[in-house]
Amino acid sequence: CIVFGGIYTLIRERKKNVQITIDKPFRR
């Protein structure tokens, strides 16, 4: 459960970073 939770949080962080990188060009 702990390993799965760590991977889940890592994926969530990556998705957040991807959203930020996608939002930057559109805002420009």
Give pLDDT, residue 1: 59
Residue 2 Cα to chain centre, angstroms: 19
User: What domain count does the chain have?
Assistant: 1
* Cα distance from N-terminal residue to C-terminal residue, the chain: 41
pLDDT tens readout for residues 1-28: 577 778 888 888 888 777 767 677 666 5
Domain range for 7:
1-28
For residue 18, what pLDDT is reported? 75
